[in-house]
């Protein structure tokens, strides 16, 4: 993917984002529900709780992406177009997640009426606040974490869930879909990085946003075990 990056500042931004990803990956592996998933100790109820708590973040994803698109001025119309396209592609993904939840034994009404957990509230609030700023190029950092998670973890997690739970029907369509499609989103993201990493300030804001989103995403998953 690095061949999409042409500018020196773009390369610097990418190097720092890769380090942020490594830190995020280490922190993610320590989250209790992720540890259970990756060591074959995830129960069917755990998986339902995971989907239920992920749903709000998935729903709100298209909202903050759309908000960020509206915050770019005409001098950033190419970036705005890319962001709008991304929001359009993902705005109904939550329906696939709901179907997996039902297939895994959950009740549709439960997942549709569940409140955001503490981590989801913090993540959503931070992303909407950032998306409302003028020309919010820093949100490239948020996309780096969230799209990277889909691309690097989703297929792996889907495989582990199937191996351990051995469901009679497919309960991991959402994870499998993102594992396959987020690779294309990452290609677009590399191109965006090269276009918006035009100053040291932009690079710093992108990297900081990635770091904050990584912390809040882990908090969101930590709070899954507090669901009642």
CATH of the domain at 212: 1.20.910.10
Question: What's the predicted TM-score (pTM) here?
Answer: 0.91
Give the pLDDT means over successive 10-residue stretches in the chain (228 positions).
72 94 96 96 96 90 85 85 68 86 97 94 96 94 89 90 95 87 70 86 96 97 86
Q: How many domains does the chain have?
A: 1
pLDDT at res. 65: 84
Q: Which residues contact 79 (CB under 8 A, 6 or more apart)?
A: 72, 137, 192, 195, 196
Range of the domain at 119: 2-226
């Amino acid at each position: 993917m690095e061949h999409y990056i042409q500018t020196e500042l773009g390369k610097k931004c990418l190097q720092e984002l890769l380090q942020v990803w490594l830190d995020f990956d280490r922190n993610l592996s320590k989250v209790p529900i992720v540890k259970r998933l990756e060591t074959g100790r995830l129960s069917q109820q755990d998986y339902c709780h995971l989907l239920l708590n992920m749903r709000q973040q998935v729903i709100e994803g298209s909202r903050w992406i759309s908000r960020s698109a509206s915050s770019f001025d005409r001098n950033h119309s190419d970036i705005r177009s890319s962001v709008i396209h991304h929001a359009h592609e993902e705005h109904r993904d939550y329906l696939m997640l709901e179907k997996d939840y039902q297939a895994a034994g959950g009740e549709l009404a439960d997942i549709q009426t569940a409140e955001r957990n503490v981590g989801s509230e913090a993540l959503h609030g931070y992303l909407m606040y950032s998306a409302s700023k003028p020309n919010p190029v820093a949100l490239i950092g948020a996309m780096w974490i969230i799209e990277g998670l889909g691309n690097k973890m989703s297929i792996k997690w889907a495989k582990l869930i199937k191996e351990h739970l051995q469901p009679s029907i497919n309960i991991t369509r959402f994870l499998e879909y993102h594992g396959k499609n987020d690779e294309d989103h990452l290609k677009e993201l590399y191109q965006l990085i090269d276009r918006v990493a035009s100053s040291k300030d932009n690079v710093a804001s992108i990297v900081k946003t990635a770091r904050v989103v990584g912390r809040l995403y882990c908090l969101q998953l930590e709070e899954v075990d507090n669901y009642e």
